[in-house]
């Protein structure tokens, strides 16, 4: 009796509330459709054309995609993006874990607050400003080379961003510097959720700090690590601003990444179709990397 | 940042998702015609009749200028002073930004006067006003033809002759600036007369512990194209190089004399005549180091004359690239400061009147030389302002006369196509510096890119 009553009420109320709900969502949905979904679909459409952005377009089918995998220069940009994952993603997450664990242990002291603020600072600075700052630091007369000379490593000095061997790692370092603050903060927040009694129990069982970290902290942070990896991998694969400001893809094509290549293709070479094809490929690539990650890092917690 | 929801949690929300997909499907179907304008094969024809004044009614000229160069703005102010009914509404951007914006701005937000990048593709898309009628009305077609040929575009897709699609505010020229104090230090008292003499000076400078040449070549700015093209001019004729830049049928940059030039540049790199870190330097860094006395030579253009006369008064000199053989003809990259009128401009008559005024008005020519540092456009016998002897401006103007006499003006090899500089010359020259490219490999690679870009 009670069940049918509930059901009856639900069937009567549901359509109205659903409509009302959609009405509230309508402005957001409209904006989303017009400014996110429509450009996305238009990009897919353009990718099948040979078009300079102004004149008439010619349908070329999958030609642009074929060129994407056969043109070694375009393919190299994707390889560079994956190399950047190492710097933009793994380094900040590993360092972030170490730093967060350290800060947690000294949580009561004022130093922890200072450390947190300083580490988060890169996140507040616009990426373009960070890029400019690091360009100075890494220049031949910059601080990095001055420090190297001061400690007697003068032979190592070089134009870090202008050298074929060091340009990509140098750009990676900038990215790592930017990402580390966000990772640290996220991981720190995750750590504060962990029940202290777990640690107490572990300590009673004679676990040291390393064992505590491995057996309690790390497993509990599975979700946070997942978020960190997701965000940073996306920023590595879709990177544009840091590279545009610091090297513009040079020297040669040593730091050319898909994001920058799309920009050059569209605005310098005026090949809107090819640029769109690379953009679509990049989107698919990002999803392919990020979706499995979501599954791996979430499943264990359910 | 994209947040991706997991399959299970999203299961309850699939219906709205379908709704969104369905709706967006409709949107796409509505927009599913081929992008771009309709096909037009005939070139823009010139207006049949034109007025050669700005009239007396209030006019606001919409300008899109290059930031960092005071010349066009100074000219605009002087023009408004002389013709108070004409006001300017000026938007400024970096040249790179203008290059990328040009097609869109010319078609969607048509300026009356715009600083233009390479014009071929814009002319092909009918975005630029055909100025033939103005050229006839104002007599521009009686000026030395070399002043205008770089802005002519033919129906065959080649530059160099055909209809006039842009005009210059003045024409600038490139060569070698040197620091007089440093030059005296190594006993260089006059400009080298042959390439071999120049090499000797470079070696002397290196032996004296100086940086012989500093040049920007970092990021997306392959500044080694300056010395390279000057070396090309020393080894060969400017004609074939111009043909290549103008996209003439069958033109190639991969010629024996250009190979000699590229090999010579490689020799400079290997001999340590160039600053070690050029691959990380931009133009501004090069200028500030040169002005700060950190290098003996730089390759740049007369647009710096006014600036250097101020910042290194009496200490900066200029000479043209010496020829390979003594007494040989000299050539230089020399291009007009190109401005165009949008095909959709509302005040085309007044904009053209302004361009003519820049070349013919005495005050405007004064500004062209003193603020712009370069030679004004116009007939050979036109008024030329007095320039103080011993200044860099005086020597660049004199060099301009030499180039005129030797018929040695070339457009810049970076202007062959819209993308050749950023996507071809720059990466290839950076590779040459790093020893990752050979001179022959460089020319082959650039030619291959060129052919695909000209076709496309």
* Chain B CB within 8 Å of residue A245 CB: no
CB-based contact A138:A51 (threshold 8 Å): no
Model pLDDT, residue B12: 45
**B342: helix, strand or coil:** strand
Chain A residue nearest residue B106, CA to CA: A54
| Contact at CB, B37 and A264, closer than 8 angstroms | no
Cross-chain CB nearest to A54 (options B27, B28, B107) = B107
Closest approach of chain B CAs to the CA of A200, in angstroms?
Answer: 34
Q: For residue A289, what pLDDT is reported?
A: 92
The answer to whether B3-172+336-370 and B173-335+394-455 have equal CATH topology is yes
- pLDDT, average across residues A48-73: 90
Residues in chain B with CB shorter than 8 Å from the CB of A269 are 418-419, 423, 453
Confirm whether the ipTM is greater than 0.85. no
pLDDT in tens, A230-263: 999 999 999 999 999 999 888 989 999 999 999 9
Angle at B154 between CA B153 and CA B159, to 5 degrees: 45
Q: Which residues contact A118 (CB under 8 A, 6 or more apart)?
A: none
The fold for domain B3-172+336-370 equals D-Maltodextrin-Binding Protein; domain 2 (3.40.190)
Kindly report the backbone phi and psi dihedral angles of residue B134, in degrees, each rounded to the nearest multiple of 5, phi listed first.
-65, -45
Residue B46 zone, left/alpha/beta (φ > 0; ψ -120 to 50; rest): beta
CB contact under 8 A, A163 and B434: yes
End-to-end Cα separation, chain B, in angstroms? 35
Domain extents in chain B? 3-172+336-370, 173-335+394-455
- Find the helix or strand (DSSP H, E) in which B316 lies: strand B316-319
Q: How confident is the model at residue A14 (pLDDT cuts 50, 70, 90)?
A: low
Mean pLDDT along residues A61-73: 90
Minimal C-alpha gap between A126 and chain B (Å) = 15
Task: Choose from B277, B414, B419 for mutation: most chain A CBs within 10 A.
Answer: B277
Tell me which residue of B297, B286, B325 sits closest to B227, measured CA to CA.
B297
Reported as a single tens digit per residue, the pLDDT across A102-150 is 888 787 778 888 888 888 888 888 888 989 999 999 988 889 999 999 9
3-state secondary structure of A239: coil
Asked if A264's CB is within 8 angstroms of B36's CB, the reply is: no
- Look up tokens 């990021």; give the residue: B219
CATH code for residues B173-335+394-455: 3.40.190.10
Chain B: nearest CA to A118, how far in angstroms? 23
Chain B nearest CA to A237, separation (Å): 12
Which helix (DSSP H) or strand (DSSP E) does residue B113 occupy?
Answer: strand B113-115
| From A33, A45, A51, residue closest to B20, measured CB to CB | A33
Question: Which pLDDT band, with edges at 50, 70 and 90, does A87 fall under?
Answer: very high
CB-based burial of residue B23 (10 Å sphere; 0-12 exposed, 13-18 middle, 19+ buried)? middle
Contact residues for A109 (Cβ-Cβ < 8 A; gap 6+): none
φ, ψ for residue A182 (rounded to 5)?
-60, -45
**Is A161–B418 a contact, with Cβ atoms under 8 angstroms apart?**
no
Which residues lie below 8 Å from residue A153, measured CB to CB, with a gap of 6+?
none
Q: Two tokens at B22?
A: 């369905």
- Give the span between the Cα atoms of B39 and A51, in whole angstroms: 12
- C-alpha distance from A249 to closest chain B C-alpha (Å): 7
Using the Cβ of A250 and the Cβ atoms of chain B, whether some distance falls under 8 Å is answered with yes
Chain A residues in contact with B118 by the CB 8 A cut-off are none
Mean of per-residue pLDDT scores for chain A: 87
Residue-by-residue DSSP string for B349-414: HHHHHHHHHHHH-HHHHHHHHHTT-SEEPS-TTS------TTSHHHHHHHHHHHHHHHT-EE--GG
Q: Which residues of B touch A140 (CB under 8 A)?
A: 276-277, 280
Residues B211, B214, B220, B225: what is their CA dihedral angle, to the nearest 10 degrees? -120
| Nearest chain B residue to A273, by CA | B35
Our CA-based measurement puts residue B141 at a distance from the nearest CA of chain A, in whole angstroms, of: 30
- Residue B353 to residues B122, B134, B251, B383: CA-CA distances in angstroms? 22, 9, 36, 19
For the stretch A196-232, pLDDT in tens is 898 889 889 888 888 888 888 888 998 999 999 999 9
| Residue numbers in A near B35 (CB within 8 A) | 42, 45-46, 49, 51, 57, 272
Q: Chain B within 8 Å of A230 (Cβ-Cβ)?
A: yes
**CA dihedral over B160, B166, B168, B172, signed as positive or negative:** negative
Q: Is A161 helix (H, G, I), strand (E, B) or coil?
A: helix
At residue A300, the pLDDT reads: 53
Which DSSP state fits B143?
S
The DSSP symbol for B34 reads P
How many residues belong to chain A?
A: 302
Q: Which residue has the tokens 């400009």?
A: B191
Q: What is the pLDDT of residues A17-48, one digit of tens each?
A: 778 888 889 999 999 999 999 999 999 999 99
Q: CA A188 to CA A100: how far, in whole Å? A: 5
H/E stretch holding A32: helix A2-32
- Which of A45, A253, A270 is the mutation pick for testing B, counting most B CBs within 10 A? A270
Gap from A55 CA to chain B (nearest CA, Å): 5
Q: In chain B, whose CA is at the least distance from the CA of A47? A: B35
In angstroms, the separation between the Cα of residue A5 and the nearest Cα of chain B is 23
Q: Give, for all 456 residues of chain B, the pLDDT tens digit.
A: 333 333 344 444 455 556 555 555 555 554 557 777 654 545 577 787 888 888 889 999 999 998 878 899 999 999 999 999 999 999 999 887 888 889 989 988 999 999 998 888 899 889 999 999 999 999 998 888 888 988 999 988 888 889 999 999 988 899 999 999 999 999 998 899 999 999 999 999 999 999 999 999 988 889 999 999 999 999 999 999 999 999 999 999 999 999 999 999 999 999 999 999 999 888 889 999 999 999 999 999 988 888 899 899 899 999 999 999 888 888 899 888 999 999 999 999 999 999 999 999 999 999 988 888 888 898 878 888 888 888 999 999 889 888 888 888 899 999 898 889 888 999 999 999 999 999 999 999 999 999 988 876
Chain A positions touching B32 (Cβ under 8 A) are 45
Which positions 44-83 of A are in contact with B (Cβ < 8 Å)? Answer: 45-46, 49-57, 59
Q: Which residues of B touch A37 (CB under 8 A)?
A: 20, 24, 27
Interface mutation vs chain B, best among A48, A56, A135, most B CBs within 10 Å: A56
Percent of residues, chain A, with pLDDT higher than 90: 49
Q: Is A276 exposed, middle or buried (0-12, 13-18, 19+ CB in 10 A)?
A: buried
d(CA A85, CA B289): 36
pTM given for the model = 0.84
A164 chain-B contacts, CB cut-off 8 A: 431, 434, 436
Q: pLDDT of A182-199, one tens digit each?
A: 999 999 999 888 888 988
Q: Give the gyration radius of chain A's Cα atoms.
A: 25
Contact indicator for B195, B322 with CB cutoff of 8 Å:
yes
Cα→Cα distances B309→A67, B184, B221, B302, Å: 51, 19, 25, 11
Which residues of A are less than 8 Å from B420 in CB distance? none
Residue A282: burial class (beta carbons within 10 Å; 0-12, 13-18, 19+): buried
The structure tokens listed for B49 are 């009749």
Could you count the other beta carbons within 10 Å of the beta carbon of residue A172? 22
Q: Where does residue B247 fall: left (phi above 0), alpha (psi -120 to 50 degrees), or beta otherwise? A: left
Q: How many CB atoms lie within 10 A of CB B406?
A: 17
CA distance B324 to chain A (A): 30
Inter-CA distances, A12 with B16, B227, B375, Å: 20, 82, 84
pLDDT at B6: 39
Interface mutation vs chain A, best among B25, B279, B429, most A CBs within 10 Å: B279
CB contact under 8 A, B103 and A139: no
Query: CA–CA separation, B182 vs B317, rounded Å?
Result: 11
Cβ neighbours of A182 in B, within 8 Å: none
CB-CB neighbors (< 8 A) of A294 in chain B: 4, 6
């Amino acid at each position: 009796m009670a069940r049918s009553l509930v059901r009856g009420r639900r069937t009567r109320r549901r359509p109205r509330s659903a409509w009302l709900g959609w009405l509230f969502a309508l402005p957001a949905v409209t904006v989303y459709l017009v400014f996110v979904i429509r450009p996305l679909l238009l990009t897919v459409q353009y990718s099948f054309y040979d078009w300079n952005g102004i004149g008439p377009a010619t349908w070329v089918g999958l030609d642009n995609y074929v060129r994407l995998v056969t043109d070694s220069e375009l393919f190299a940009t994707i390889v560079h993006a994956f190399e950047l994952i190492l710097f933009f993603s793994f380094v900040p997450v590993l360092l972030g874990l170490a730093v967060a664990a350290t800060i947690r242990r000294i949580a009561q002291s004022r130093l922890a607050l200072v450390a947190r603020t300083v580490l988060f600072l890169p996140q507040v600075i616009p990426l373009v400003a960070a890029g400019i700052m690091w360009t100075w630091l890494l220049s031949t007369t910059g601080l990095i080379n001055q420090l190297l000379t001061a400690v007697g490593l003068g032979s190592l000095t070089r134009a870090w961003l202008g050298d074929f061997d060091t340009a990509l790692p140098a750009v990676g370092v900038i990215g790592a510097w930017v990402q580390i603050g966000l990772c640290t903060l996220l991981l720190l927040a995750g750590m504060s959720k962990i029940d202290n009694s777990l640690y107490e129990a572990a300590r009673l069982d004679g676990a040291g700090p390393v064992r505590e970290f491995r057996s309690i902290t790390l497993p509990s942070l599975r979700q946070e690590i997942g978020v960190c990896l997701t965000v940073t991998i996306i920023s590595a694969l879709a990177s544009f601003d840091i590279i545009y400001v610091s090297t513009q893809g040079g020297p040669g094509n040593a730091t050319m990444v898909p994001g920058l290549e799309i920009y050059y293709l569209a605005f310098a070479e005026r090949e809107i179709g090819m640029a769109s094809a690379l953009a679509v490929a990049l989107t698919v690539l990002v999803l392919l990397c990020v979706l499995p990650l979501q599954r791996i890092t979430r499943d264990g917690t359910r | 940042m994209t947040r991706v929801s997991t399959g299970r949690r999203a299961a309850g929300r699939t219906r709205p998702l379908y709704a969104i997909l369905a709706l967006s499907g409709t949107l796409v179907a509505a927009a599913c015609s081929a992008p771009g304008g309709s096909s037009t094969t005939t070139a823009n024809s010139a207006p049949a009749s034109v007025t050669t004044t700005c009239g007396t009614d209030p006019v606001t000229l919409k300008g899109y200028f290059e930031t960092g160069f005071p010349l066009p703005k100074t000219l605009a102010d002087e023009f408004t002073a002389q013709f108070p009914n004409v006001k300017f509404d000026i938007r400024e951007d970096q040249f790179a930004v203008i290059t990328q914006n040009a097609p869109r701005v010319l078609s969607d937000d048509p300026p009356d006067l715009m600083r233009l990048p390479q014009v071929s593709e814009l002319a092909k898309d009918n975005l630029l006003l055909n100025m033939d009628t103005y050229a006839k009305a104002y007599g521009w077609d009686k000026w030395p033809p070399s002043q205008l040929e770089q802005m002519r575009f033919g129906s065959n897709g080649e530059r160099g002759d055909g209809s006039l699609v842009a005009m210059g505010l003045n024409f600038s020229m490139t060569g070698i600036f040197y620091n007089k104090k440093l030059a005296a230090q190594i006993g260089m008292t006059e400009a080298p007369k042959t390439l071999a003499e120049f090499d000797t000076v470079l070696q002397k400078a290196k032996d004296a512990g100086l940086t012989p040449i500093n040049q920007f070549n970092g990021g997306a700015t392959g500044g080694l194209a300056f010395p390279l093209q000057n070396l090309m001019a020393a080894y060969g004729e400017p004609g074939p190089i111009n043909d290549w830049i103008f996209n003439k049928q069958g033109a190639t940059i991969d010629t024996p004399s250009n190979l000699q030039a590229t090999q010579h540049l490689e020799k400079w790199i290997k001999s340590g005549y160039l600053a070690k870190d050029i691959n990380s330097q931009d133009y501004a860094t090069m200028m500030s180091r040169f002005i700060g006395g950190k290098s003996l030579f730089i390759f740049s253009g007369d647009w710096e004359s006014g600036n250097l006369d101020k910042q290194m008064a009496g200490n900066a000199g200029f000479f043209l690239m010496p020829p390979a053989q003594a007494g040989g003809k000299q050539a230089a990259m020399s291009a007009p400061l190109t401005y165009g009128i949008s095909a959709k401009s509302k005040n085309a008559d007044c904009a053209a009147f302004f361009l003519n005024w820049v070349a013919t008005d005495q005050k405007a020519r004064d500004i062209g030389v003193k603020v712009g540092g370069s030679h004004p456009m116009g007939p050979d016998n036109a008024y030329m302002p007095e320039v103080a002897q011993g200044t860099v401006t005086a020597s660049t103007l004199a060099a301009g006369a030499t180039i005129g006499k030797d018929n040695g003006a070339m457009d810049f090899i970076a202007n062959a196509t819209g993308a050749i500089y950023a996507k071809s010359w720059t990466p290839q020259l950076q590779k040459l510096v790093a020893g990752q490219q050979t001179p022959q490999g460089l020319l082959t690679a650039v030619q291959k890119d060129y052919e695909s870009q000209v076709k496309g």
